[in-house]
Amino acid sequence: MTQKIVLLLLLLPITSFAVPIDWHGVFGVDTTLIDNYRRVQSKVDNSATANVGSQEVALGSGAHANASFQSYLFRLNPTMIINDAATFKGEITSGYGRGGRLGDNSTQTANSTDGMGTALYMHNAPAGDDLVLNKMYVELYSDTATYVIGRHTAHWGLGVLVNSGDDTWDRHTFIRDGITLKFKIGNFKIEPYWSKVSSTGSLTRASKIKEYGFSLLYDNNDSDLALGLLFGKKANSKFNTTITRDGTNAIGETDVKVTDLYFRKGFGNLSLALEVPILSGELGNAFNSTQEAKYKAKAIIFKGSFQANESWAFGVDAGTVSGESGDTSSYDAMYLNPNYQVAKLLFRYNRRAIGAANRNVYDSYITNAMFAKLGLDYSSESWLFKSAFIWAVAKETATAGSNAFNHTSNTAFSAVTNQDDQLGYEIDLSIDYKWNNEITVGSSAAYLFTGEYWAYTNSTTQINKAENSFLLQLRTSIDF
């Protein structure tokens, strides 16, 4: 009996090493202070009684307008080489947003209203308790193509719409439950795909959401040129209740087309890139249960960078993201992927989540905005200093006597007063120290000169004035 046990123990290491596993991932901890997250001078909380068009968000417990929270980010990515023709890959994380808050647990499932209802239609956001399998898929290799089967991710262009969340502090990842075929013919990459997004209520066609399409990319390293198209359709069956307009009422049957154009060109140290996502089709009961709405949303995002020398780099980001006017015949608001951010404070945090435990502070999207960003970076062997100036205005605002739309609460309303279009301008500074190849310690500061857009109450008696806000943050991360 003893000999059998010894033999078994000797064989176990041999068996385990037969399939090598490469473990890598990210762990990070940060502490964040946001002064005056409400962005208004008023110390009185009128959010509960305010008109639905009001931009005012609730005060936190104890009537505090300052937020202080600590979070952790965790993702573990195993890679298992089965043989020459197959590799298994995955991502294990905890809770919603790849982590949780210190002093709390990770069982955070975001309220769909924070996803702006239809905003979650553009990307899939995982949710759940305890450990979460964000990715679990196999790559099969053949002479003609690579087959990706299971729960995997995707990335397109600048990550404006489809974003894999590969950067260290990305809280979200695009999920595709299905199959993607990858073909490479010379400089062309062709990737058709099919995915089951959701199936609630039953396993029949009446309650499913499916996604299918293809991407075509021409990528020439010699000329430093990339040009491509992502085209897909996302269809929501009539009885699926995953996508809601207000957290309760489903939007019903939809048929949305995604057309995403991408262009990138390099000229030595100068790089220029442009992405234009367009959403069209039918969006079901986006406003109410008796009327179906068309979908007409678009964005134009530009990114430019110039590497002056080994230390200095300049950057320009600019974009226009459509908003909803309040006309209920069509839904025109575009919500970019929450991983795509241009400022440390302005668009980055869900301010409604600060005083509400059932929401997630990282569920925040650039929408209804025209913005520009100028950046200056300095880097050395171990240090990275980044500075930026950001300016933004709203594309759609309320006009007295007309219908309008509150992009914060995803609600249409009748405007009583006029709304200013100034979102504000912001100054960002950040410092990162690379302790070694795996560990980075950093800090950030941001000051927002708040625009009067955020002070809108849609009331002639309750009037707010905008007030500036600032952010301070310390963080450390390990990439392994």
Between 326 and 89, the higher pLDDT residue: 89
The percentage of the chain sitting over the pLDDT mark of 90, rounded to a whole number, equals: 62
Query: For position 120, what pLDDT does the model report?
Result: 52
pLDDT digits (tens, 9 = 90+) for 127-141: 555 678 889 999 999
Query: For position 461, what pLDDT does the model report?
Result: 85
Q: Report the run of H or E that residue 17 belongs to, with start and end.
A: helix 2-17
Q: Is the per-residue pLDDT at 108 higher than 90?
A: no
Mean pLDDT of the chain: 87
pLDDT digits (tens, 9 = 90+) for 238-257: 776 666 665 556 777 788 99
Q: What is the Cα–Cα distance from 336 to 317, expressed in whole angstroms? A: 15
Query: For position 1, what pLDDT does the model report?
Result: 45
Domain layout of the chain by residue ranges: 23-479
Q: Is the per-residue pLDDT at 106 higher than 80?
A: no
Give the pair of three-digit tokens for residue 333: 């608001």
CB count in 10 Å sphere of residue 142: 8
Q: Is the dihedral of CA 390, 395, 399, 403 positive or negative?
A: negative
Q: Report the run of H or E that residue 302 belongs to, with start and end.
A: strand 294-307
Q: What is the Cα–Cα distance from 94 to 177, expressed in whole angstroms? A: 19
**pTM: predicted TM-score of the whole model, two decimal places:** 0.89
Question: What mean pLDDT is predicted for residues 379-401?
Answer: 96
Q: Of 54, 52, 53, 58, which Cα lies nearest the Cα of 38?
A: 58
pLDDT digits (tens, 9 = 90+) for 35-65: 999 999 888 877 766 678 888 888 877 777 8
Query: For position 7, what pLDDT does the model report?
Result: 44
Q: Which CATH number fits domain 23-479: 3.40.50.300, 3.30.70.20, 2.40.160.100, 2.40.50.100?
A: 2.40.160.100
Between 355 and 84, the higher pLDDT residue: 84
Q: What is the Cα–Cα distance from 330 to 312, expressed in whole angstroms? A: 46
